[in-house]
Amino acid sequence: MTGYGKSVAEIPQKKISIEIKSLNSKSLDLNARLPWLYKEKESEMRNLISQKLDRGKIDLTINFDVFDSEIVPVINKSVVKNYFSQLKEIAGELNINADDQLLSTIMRLPDALKTEKPELEEEEWIRVREKLNEAIDQLDGYRIEEGKSLEADLIRAIGKILTLLQGIEEFEGDRIKKIRERLNASLAENVGTENIDKNRFEQELIFYLEKLDINEEKVRLKKHCEYFLEKIASLPPNGKILNFISQEIGREVNTIGSKANDASIQKLVVMMKDELEKIKEQSLNVL
């Protein structure tokens, strides 16, 4: 979701620089810093950006350098004459000869000079809009390149989780055997072998092992991972969906961990969680 674009428009007497930057955000958050000349077009610029960039914290900055100043201060004749008349009258009343100083004094008074701001010409706006589109496309190009790298990272992380999931099977047979041996040893120590009802023990053991069964979780985890890979290959926007799927993957991984009751499987679960954290972090960068 991060990116950068810059373009420059040169028109007679003016050089216009357009910069647009994007950072991660759950929605479109646009901040525009524009010269007063382009304020009237801010709404149109926002619409243009929102049509092309679905999400992200967007910063748009437009500056221009004027080669031959368009903004020339003009003497406000009516105001200067009014000031002169009043000051002349006051000087006469006070019997002061201030003719030589009056004009320089008046020119420092408010509104003696006025600045006429030019309006935005349609030709200039067409050129600015064209260059704004160019900067947006450049930013989008950065996003696409970043997306390819993110896609490779996410596919690798999901592949690692699937590999670790397959590795659990190696320890499942020993897991049941170890649980049986541990329960037998505990009963023998606390109750005595002669006092154990073998049939009842087997029934309770089956009930206990059913609670520790992780086959359903393994199947669901595999399905979630396959769905994640499917959505990566689909057209954007799919970032939010990937985030939701990663949450479901996390639920299954946590359940396997809580039911595992085996140090070797727990180790694999920890490695899965490590990959999942990477996936969650990276999926926030996906549109």
Token couple for 113: 């000079």
Residue 15 domain boundaries = 3-69+124-143
Average pLDDT over residues 133-151: 90
Q: Hey, what long-range contacts does 212-215 have (CB within 8 A, 24 or more apart)?
A: 212/179, 212/259, 212/260, 212/261, 213/259, 214/168, 214/172, 214/255, 214/256, 214/259, 214/260
Q: Are residues 57 and 83 in the same domain?
A: no
Element (H, E) at 63: strand 56-66
69 falls in which pLDDT band (50, 70, 90)?
Answer: low
Q: Are residues 216 and 138 in the same domain?
A: no
Q: Omega into 12 within 30° of 0, i.e. cis?
A: no
Q: Are residues 34 and 109 in the same domain?
A: no
Q: Are residues 18 and 83 in the same domain?
A: no
Mean pLDDT is lowest, of 217-221, 257-261, 275-279, for 257-261
Q: Hey, what long-range contacts does 281-285 have (CB within 8 A, 24 or more apart)?
A: 282/150, 282/153, 282/154, 282/157, 283/154, 283/239, 283/242, 283/243, 283/246, 284/24, 284/239, 284/243, 285/1, 285/2, 285/24, 285/146, 285/150, 285/239
Q: Are residues 53 and 161 in the same domain?
A: no
pLDDT over threshold 70, residue 197: no
Average pLDDT over residues 191-219: 72
Residue 177: what pLDDT?
72
Task: Give the Cβ contact number of residue 159 at 10 Å.
Answer: 13
pTM, two decimal places = 0.65
Please, is 253 exposed, middle or buried when counting C-beta atoms within 10 Å of its C-beta (0-12, 13-18, 19+)?
Answer: buried
- Tokens 């201060």 — which residue? 73
Q: Are residues 211 and 133 in the same domain?
A: no
Average pLDDT over residues 35-50: 90
Q: Are residues 272 and 154 in the same domain?
A: yes
Average pLDDT over residues 131-156: 91
Q: Are residues 37 and 158 in the same domain?
A: no
For residues 68-103, one letter each, b for 16 or more C-beta atoms within 10 angstroms of the residue's C-beta and e for the rest, the string is eeeeeeeeeeebbeebeeebeeeeeeeeeeeeeeee
CATH code of 40's domain: 3.30.230
Average pLDDT over residues 35-42: 88
**Position with higher pLDDT, 128 vs 74:** 128
Mean pLDDT (the chain, rounded) = 84
pLDDT over threshold 90, residue 12: no
Non-local CB neighbours of 63 within 8 Å, separated by 6+ positions: 16, 17, 35
Name which of 119, 6, 109, 21 is nearest 63 in CA terms: 6
Q: Are residues 139 and 171 in the same domain?
A: no
Phi, psi angle pair for 116, to nearest 5°: -95, 115
pLDDT over threshold 90, residue 54: no
pLDDT over threshold 90, residue 238: no
Q: Are residues 222 and 233 in the same domain?
A: yes
Q: Are residues 43 and 105 in the same domain?
A: no
Per the structure, how many domains does the chain have?
A: 3
pLDDT over threshold 70, residue 195: no
Q: DSSP H helical segments within the chain, as ranges? A: 42-52, 77-93, 99-106, 122-190, 198-212, 215-232, 239-260, 263-283
Residue 98: what pLDDT?
65
Cα 68 from Cα 54, distance rounded (Å): 39
pLDDT over threshold 70, residue 193: no
Q: Are residues 60 and 131 in the same domain?
A: yes
Amino acid at 186: S
